[in-house]
Structure 1
Amino acid sequence: MTPIKKKATNFSYKEEKPLLALVKKYASTIECKRTDINSNKLKAAFYEKLAIEFNSVCDECYRSPKILRSKYENIKKCGKKVFSNERAYLHGTCGGPARTTSSSKIQSELQEILGNQVTDSILVQLFPFRV
């Protein structure tokens, strides 16, 4: 009989904040677009370092590098979806009054990490002839 794996606890807000702070620290390597074998090894090594630092800061539950990577990618995906919805709303109102959004600290930190990936696409959609 195989042992049943216990489900890990969900990430709390207290855990998401240090994760994004550590990703911000290593953003130049983690957000690198290159996908050759050396870059992938380097990213894996940085996720190992990130996991060690994360687990020393957050003592709620042990998180493996694989779990931390998937959580960050999920946060990034959800954040990009929010940014995309905001852009779509602005485009739909033809530059009219913006909707007041309650962006969380997580989204603002994610916007700092992603930087050009988010802001350049907004400028291209709003002013296609100026960029």
Structure 2
Amino acid sequence: MSSESTTIDGDEYTKVAEIADFEAGNDGIAVDVNGIEIAIFEADGDLYAISNRCSHQNAPLCKAGERKINADHTWTESRGGVNEEKCTVSCPWHLWEWDLETGKNEVSGERIATFDVAVRDENVFVRI
């Protein structure tokens, strides 16, 4: 990944991806910005950046919706994923649901970090 940065509206953003990196199907991508793990998801045409680790048991949220991420005999075709209507992502391990805009889990009241996302010239940037 490039460590390219840019200033947007007076704040420093770091380039983390390109629009072409997001395939249809709401799969997330994981990026690392200065040691911070971030998952980026597309939902209803918008991009959201959230901590890549579920606070429940540290599962990688970027794996939400992937096929059989664990033992074949214990997992379904896909586990977790993005709910575009609710603007949430569900953890692939225990299905804890996180609001992509606020980072809040409604059941526990816990929050995980969210990050501002900007797109410029087909490049995706996040603000830490």
- TM-score if structure 2 supplies the norm length? 0.22
When Rg is computed on C-alpha atoms for both structures, the one with the higher figure is 1
Q: Which has the higher strand share?
A: 2
